[in-house]
Chain A
Amino acid sequence: MGVAQAIRAAGLDRFYRRREATDGITRVEPAAADSFAISADSAEAAGLILHVGGDLRETSLLIEGIHCGACVWLIETYLARRPGVVQATVNLATHRARVRWDARRATLADVLRAIASIGYRAHPYDSLRREMQMRREWRALLARTALALLAMMQVMMFALPGYTSTDGVDPEHRALLDWASLALTMPVVFYCAAPFFAGAWRDLRLGKLGMDVPVALGVGGAFVASAWSTLESGGPVYYDSVTMFVALLSVARLFELHARRRAGAAIEAIARDVPEVAERLIDPADTSKTERVAARQLCPGDRIRVAAGAPIAADGTVVDGRSSVEEAMLTGESWPRARMAGDRVLAGSLNRESPLIVRVDAVGEGTAAAGLARMIERAANARPRIALLADRVAGNFVAALLAIAAATAIVWSCVDPSRVLTVTLAVLVVSCPCALSLATPATLAAAAGAAARRRIFTVRSNAWESLARVTHVVFDKTGTLTKGQLSLASVDLLAGHDRSRCVAIAAALESGSMHPIADALQREMAEARQRPMAETLHEQSGAPIVPKSAIVLCDGIVAVPGSGVEATVDGRVHRFGRPEWVGALHREAMPAPARAMSADAISVALADDDGWIAWFAFSDAVRPGAAELVAQLRGMHIGVSLSSGDRAETVAHVAQTIGITDFRGDAQPSAKLEHVASLQRQGAVVAMVGDGINDAPSLAGADVSLSFGTASTLAQWTADVVLVNDDLRGVAQSIAGARRTLRVIRQNLAWAFAYNLVAIPLAASGQLTPLAAALGMSLSSLFVVANALRLAR
């Protein structure tokens, strides 16, 4: 039996209908309306629709065809006006929409249909389709760009005789060249430039003038004028300008898509930070039998088992077990916190030491992590309105241009009716806002390319503008200015013990633990093994390469969560952990160094039953280059402040170390966001640098946000700029780069406006020779691109 028959026999032949309805079609026909109901059904079946209280439903949609902030605004406002739709938010960077609707008054199919009716395609979100859509978009754009570039080169060759010959090309040869150019330009206009025409058509249907309108008008006008000249009149041709314009714009879009794809790979799933699978106890009384269930199937009151080293799937209360839980992603607190029966734990935090039984209190939308996600969306939505401005300017320009063209046509129909068409087309062609519409994208593409070589990726193309105007940078501490992991800061030895021996004992005691202190000791051991090798060898030839002191055998390791570890080493009981608990082993008074520890360090004692052996101080080390960065930013007249969820004294210590005077600790995510907002109210343009989930709301609320390649996916998802190589210097580099970029954009815009100011009156008065029009158009575009390329060096 064939696959097709099997599918049919199982009553699943709607698979074919669905496949036809959703694959590879670029236009949405009314006839395909049935497909909306089908894809809505399959989304329901796949569990992609969330029930959020009462009759409210919510889902994520992936939207194809979004180009700019205007598209986002359009979809949001259009959907919000549909009956039954409660809320719709669209993210420009990820092309995802979150839609919430009332199931009594609307269905998902209605929502999909509404989006299709304004010219976009929406799919219920799943990451596989996102991947496929990205790939399709990339391939199509790459093919279009390559073809346009090829055609551009060849058409330039054909145009060259016209520019270089002094006495004109003889008419026969010229006709041949024109026909050849026409043959090459046709695929460029109909295939390569198709997205611009589609965008312009959508804009016009909705009664607004976007950036695609002048592009389509210029390309279409120049092509029609040239084709008409070739077929009928033998007038001027502009094929070279058409192909060059399309090719350069395509290249700019290609760069933009490439940057977004690279950054987007890391940005994918917000949900990944909260695990998808949980181990539920089948019988609440029996902790040994569990079943694996999807996290969203959990209900309040269920009991789940969380293994050591596993993330917690839901907000809840610990019923059994003791462990330490790392909540750094949610709260910014860098040390794991002890959790025992009766304590609350949060979804997305990491259980470090031993298994816990947790009673589920809230799942899905009710968790603290989901609350953060909502806060981010609200903050992010307040922003991309800036993107609309550029579009409005272009709209006004096009409106003015059309008015001038119309006026020219009217005036010339009185003066000399035979020249109306030529002169009007000359106006349209010469003013074709090539330079104007190339000015920004070409510069942004060049800047993005230069930044990418320094491993700085701009996720949103309008990030540069905000970045250049930044007057204040707010840093997070953990993971941003500091490494976000503990390292051994110092060891205080008592009673003539050997340092490396003490470290080795401590490492051996902690060897079975998942605690960050254990990681820090392991790293210290690894470094120590490389360092003293020379000394050891030189003490006695033929000696073992590993120093004897490094070999520690211990047995009977007992971990006491929240306190420390106990084990027998060389026949003596040793304890390593919290000083009070360690001191209980031998009941000696605490030695002096214990009190002299600095505020930011976490101090851990090592002792055997005879007395204290050593005190270890662990701290979160400041990243290299942090102090230089702060000084550099000051030099650029940029204010710097530090806002962290960590303990106030730790934050103060770090701030002093690197020279930040404005700092606050114990800041909740909402307090961080408020800090950013209050700076903005004072007129500052704020850049936020952070890496954790707890930073995400302020990252979204800041004018521009930077994050690191190692940051949590949620932080990257909300960031405008991702510094992939984790180098703090990238912050100052990207701001300096953005300032340069904005300067070049201004130069380009000034040039384009000046060119139009001179060329349009000349064309309107019928003074412009074909050669001058073509040359002026090409040169103005070339100037803009060359100026932009200065950034790429």
Chain B
Amino acid sequence: MEVLYLLIPLSVTLVFLIGAAFWWSVRSGQFDDLEGPAHRILSDDDSPG
């Protein structure tokens, strides 16, 4: 069971990494509009933004 000493810290690190990635994606506004993008793909307007 020595491997636990590697795996458990690893899992904690992973949680923090995922948490940081999500925190960054929220900060950068990717979750500000949860409905608009679903409709945007249907519109013919190709201009960015």
In the assembled complex, which residues on chain A have CB atoms less than 8 Å from the CB atom of B15? Answer: 150-151, 154, 184
A176 at the binding interface (Cβ < 8 Å): yes
Chain A at the B interface: SS class: helix
Q: Which of B12, B22, B31 contacts A154 (CB 8 A)?
A: B12
A interface with B by C-beta (< 8 Å): 135, 138-139, 142-143, 146-147, 150-151, 154, 157-158, 173, 176-177, 180, 183-184, 187, 258
B37 at the binding interface (Cβ < 8 Å): no
A143–B1 CB distance below 8 A: no
In the assembled complex, which residues on chain B have CB atoms less than 8 Å from the CB atom of A177? Answer: 8
CB distance from B9 to the nearest CB of A (A): 7
B8–A158 CB distance below 8 A: yes
What 0/1 pattern do residues 20 to 45 of B give for CB contact below 8 A with A? 00110011010110100000000000
In the assembled complex, which residues on chain A have CB atoms less than 8 Å from the CB atom of B27? Answer: 139, 143
* Docked pose: A32 CA to B9 CA in angstroms: 43
A146–B9 CB distance below 8 A: no
* Docked pose: A180 CA to B27 CA in angstroms: 27
CB distance from B39 to the nearest CB of A (A): 14
* Docked pose: A602 CA to B8 CA in angstroms: 78
B4–A176 CB distance below 8 A: yes
In the assembled complex, which residues on chain B have CB atoms less than 8 Å from the CB atom of A139? Answer: 26-27, 29, 31-32
- Interface CB pairs A-B, < 8 A, 9: A143-B27, A146-B22, A147-B23, A150-B15, A151-B19, A173-B1, A176-B5, A176-B8, A180-B8
B47 at the binding interface (Cβ < 8 Å): no
The 9 closest A-B pairs by CB, nearest first: A143-B26, A147-B19, A180-B8, A146-B22, A154-B15, A143-B23, A139-B26, A180-B12, A142-B26
Question: Knowing A147-B19, A150-B15, A154-B15 touch, does A138 contact B32 (C-beta < 8 A)?
Answer: yes
In the assembled complex, which residues on chain A have CB atoms less than 8 Å from the CB atom of B1? Answer: 173
Q: Which of B12, B26, B32 contacts A183 (CB 8 A)?
A: B12
Find residues 3-18 in chain B having any chain A CB closer than 8 Å to their own CB.
4-5, 8-9, 11-12, 15, 18
Contacts A143-B27, A151-B19 supplied; 20 other A-B pairs, CB < 8 Å: A135-B32, A138-B31, A138-B32, A139-B27, A139-B29, A143-B22, A143-B23, A143-B26, A146-B22, A147-B22, A150-B15, A151-B15, A154-B15, A158-B8, A177-B8, A180-B12, A183-B12, A184-B12, A184-B15, A187-B19
CB distance from A705 to the nearest CB of B (A): 25
Q: Which of B5, B19, B31 contacts A142 (CB 8 A)?
A: B31
Closest partner residue, chain A, to B11 (CB atom):
A154
* Docked pose: A183 CA to B19 CA in angstroms: 13
In the assembled complex, which residues on chain B have CB atoms less than 8 Å from the CB atom of A150? Answer: 15, 18-19, 22
B interface with A by C-beta (< 8 Å): 1, 4-5, 8-9, 11-12, 15, 18-19, 22-23, 26-27, 29, 31-32, 34
Closest partner residue, chain A, to B1 (CB atom):
A173
CB distance from A535 to the nearest CB of B (A): 35
CB distance from A177 to the nearest CB of B (A): 7
In the assembled complex, which residues on chain B have CB atoms less than 8 Å from the CB atom of A184? Answer: 12, 15
Q: Which of A135, A147, A173 contacts B4 (CB 8 A)?
A: A173
* Docked pose: A382 CA to B35 CA in angstroms: 36
Closest partner residue, chain B, to A134 (CB atom):
B32
In the assembled complex, which residues on chain B have CB atoms less than 8 Å from the CB atom of A146? Answer: 19, 22-23, 26
In the assembled complex, which residues on chain A have CB atoms less than 8 Å from the CB atom of B9? Answer: 180
* Docked pose: A139 CA to B31 CA in angstroms: 8
In the assembled complex, which residues on chain B have CB atoms less than 8 Å from the CB atom of A258? Answer: 34
* Docked pose: A264 CA to B34 CA in angstroms: 15
CB distance from B23 to the nearest CB of A (A): 5
* Docked pose: A38 CA to B11 CA in angstroms: 50
* Docked pose: A151 CA to B4 CA in angstroms: 19
In the assembled complex, which residues on chain A have CB atoms less than 8 Å from the CB atom of B32? Answer: 135, 138-139
In the assembled complex, which residues on chain B have CB atoms less than 8 Å from the CB atom of A143? Answer: 22-23, 26-27
Closest partner residue, chain A, to B24 (CB atom):
A143
CB distance from A719 to the nearest CB of B (A): 21
* Docked pose: A418 CA to B30 CA in angstroms: 53
CB distance from A3 to the nearest CB of B (A): 24
CB distance from B29 to the nearest CB of A (A): 8
Closest partner residue, chain A, to B19 (CB atom):
A147
Closest partner residue, chain B, to A187 (CB atom):
B19
CB distance from A322 to the nearest CB of B (A): 43
Closest partner residue, chain B, to A146 (CB atom):
B22
In the assembled complex, which residues on chain B have CB atoms less than 8 Å from the CB atom of A176? Answer: 4-5, 8
* Docked pose: A146 CA to B11 CA in angstroms: 17
CB distance from A195 to the nearest CB of B (A): 16
* Docked pose: A135 CA to B30 CA in angstroms: 12
* Docked pose: A143 CA to B23 CA in angstroms: 6
CB distance from B1 to the nearest CB of A (A): 7
